[in-house]
Amino acid sequence: MARGPDGEDLPDAVLFACTQNAVRSPMASALLRHYLGRFLYVTSAGVRPGDLDPMAVEVMNEWGIDMHGHHPRSFEELDDSSFDLIVSLSPEAQHKAVELTRTMAADVEFWPTLDATAIEGSREQRLDAYRAVRDQLAARIKKRFMSQPPP
């Protein structure tokens, strides 16, 4: 167990997982790294790799968090499989995470999260959906991992 800035217990290694590792899980891992990256290891994966979504990059840039270096990958492409916690953000990822824990000792949490790519409408309406996902993930991460969340 790692210790956070306020002495809170943190897992040593966290994996965020979604369907394509293109929007939700890279956003979540970037947020947790932004908040607590000095205190724990965090990465992300998908059931299958997609292409990094430019709108996800754009809404994270609004908060000063750069995701340009993210390269979507699948569970099978992970460099390490020693995670204390797997947070799945889509039903497909939840099934994969449960399957993985048959051979690894990791806790699994399911945080159902909107797939912003499914939202149609104007560019601004679609960006609003991505912002909503970012904001929901940020709130959930602060609540789950931080005793004194930043503003």
- What's the pLDDT score for residue 85? 95
Per-residue pLDDT at 144: 93
- Residue keyed to tokens 């000095």: 38
Q: Given this model, what pLDDT does residue 87 score? A: 98
Helix H or strand E segment including 5? none
List C-alpha distances in Å: 101 to 91, 130, 144, 148.
Answer: 16, 30, 21, 30
pLDDT at 17: 96
Low-confidence ranges of the chain (pLDDT < 70): 148-151
Instruction: Output the pLDDT for position 68.
Output: 86
pLDDT at residue 82, rounded to an integer: 84
What are the residue boundaries of the structural domains of the chain, listed by start?
2-145
pLDDT value for 132: 97
Query: What are the CA-CA distances from residue 46 to residues 5, 104, 131 (Å)?
Result: 29, 18, 20
Reported pTM: 0.92
Decide if domain 2-145 falls under CATH 3.40.140.10.
Answer: no
